């Protein structure tokens, strides 16, 4: 088997491009969430833990929504040969 690198596949969008991530992290709502999370950091009471978990979920929801919106704006290409993605993963 050996260690063979998996080639990058630009059609598998699983994270935001750096520019979009930077813009998201600079958004007022995102920064507000990060500040609130930072104030709860280290607190061990149940209410703080519950609040921090809710804030992390909201932050994740914002990231997921931005990713979905970005994915929808990408052009769809129907020229991939059948089994293209499976062939890439079979190499690993």
DSSP string, 22-64: HHHHHSHHHHHHHHHHHHHTT--SHHHHHHHHHHHHHHHHHHH
* Conformation bin of residue 70: beta by default, left when phi > 0, alpha when psi is -120 to 50: alpha
Confidence tier at 1 by pLDDT (50, 70, 90):
very low
pTM equals 0.67
* Residue of 2 and 51 predicted with greater confidence: 51
Domain residue ranges in the chain? 18-73
CA dihedral (80, 85, 88, 90) positive or negative: negative
- As a whole number, the mean pLDDT across the chain is 82
């Amino acid at each position: 088997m050996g260690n063979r690198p998996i080639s990058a596949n630009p059609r598998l969008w699983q994270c935001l491009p750096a520019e979009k991530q930077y813009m998201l992290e600079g958004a007022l709502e995102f920064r507000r969430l990060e500040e609130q999370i930072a104030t709860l950091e280290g607190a061990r009471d149940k209410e703080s833990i519950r609040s921090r978990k809710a804030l992390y979920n909201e932050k994740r929801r914002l990231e997921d929504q931005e990713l979905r919106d970005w994915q929808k704006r990408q052009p769809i290409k129907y020229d991939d040969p059948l089994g293209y993605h499976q062939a890439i993963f079979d190499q690993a």
